[in-house]
Amino acid sequence: MENKLKDKNAIITGTSRGIGRATLKLFAENGVNIWACCRTIYTEDEELFSNLAEEFGVWIKPVCFDLRDEDSINTSVKSIIKEKRPIDILVNNAAVSYGTALSMMPVAKIKELFNVNYFAQLQIIQLVSKVMMRQKKGVIINMGSVSGMEVYPGNLAYGSSKAALIYATKLLAKEYAPYGIRINAVAPGTVHTDMDSARTKEQMKEVIDRTALKRGADPEEVAKVIRFLASDDASYMTGSVVVVDGGRTDF
């Protein structure tokens, strides 16, 4: 079967763990060159990138910045753009989670979460899309969540930030379509990552009980959906939100 991602160049955020790490590995296996964005690069990350690059004949360049820092994002993404390489794919994956009742949640914490999960994503899209507009092509994949589509007590900040990103995905898909840029979102349910491990056993059981497949997803299962959306196999998809939740949705 033809590999439709080979020799593409992709920016992936949040590559240090979870879905971002799984996507990085899968993209490398498919011959994609990667700017691997994370807040901090560790020795084990450098070793992994080097090993993947050698095994699959790609390049993987770490790019470090903090999504809480607008200037850091601006400087780092512009450093990618200055390389004068095509940017074929952007995977806006990195996010943070924080949940409690509004009565116990500092407004500053809500603002911090929105800065990372929403405003930073828009900033990256704004910068990268300028390259894609000149190319007259590109694919952007935003990491939504079923939390942005269902109402769950104690999930105001995270759910609202993901709902905003899902709305932006649908709107920007229309704005950028004339430039040949496709923009979609993935909305996972429970995934076996550090973020979901913050749930108590009782909370996890309640979510799994509402899931038809009675289990959480492995990060690789979500990464495969991202791979599909990034490829020409999804060439007629834009403005879509692909739910990957094992049959959890009840909204």
Per residue in 67-118, pLDDT tens? 999 999 999 999 999 999 999 999 999 998 877 777 778 899 999 999 999 9
3-class SS letters over the chain: CCCCCCCCEEEEECCCCHHHHHHHHHHHHCCCEEEEEECCCCHHHHHHHHHHHHHHCCCEEEEECCCCCHHHHHHHHHHHHCCCCCCCEEEECCCCCCCCCHHHCCHHHHHHHHHHHHHHHHHHHHHHHHHHHHHCCEEEEEECCHHHCCCCCCCHHHHHHHHHHHHHHHHHHHHHHHHCEEEEEEEECCECCCCHHHCCHHHHHHHHHCCCCCCCECHHHHHHHHHHHHCHHHCCCCCCEEEECCCCCCC
133-142 pLDDT tens trace: 999 999 999 9
What per-residue confidence (pLDDT) applies to 100? 77
**Which comes out higher in pLDDT, residue 122 or 99?**
122
Domain-wise residue ranges, the chain? 9-243
More confident residue, 215 or 206: 215
Could you read off the pLDDT of 143-187 as tens digits, one per residue? 999 999 988 777 889 999 999 999 999 999 999 999 999 999 999
**More confident call, 199 vs 8:** 8
- Among 3.40.50.720, 2.40.50.140, 1.10.150.130, 3.20.20.100, name the CATH number for the domain at 9-243: 3.40.50.720
For residues 118-130, average pLDDT: 98
| Average pLDDT value over all residues in the chain | 93
Active-site residue flag, 236: no
pLDDT digits (tens, 9 = 90+) for 38-74: 999 889 999 999 999 999 999 999 999 999 999 999 9
Query: Given 158, 167, 176, 179, which residue is catalytic?
Result: 158
What pTM did the predictor assign? 0.94
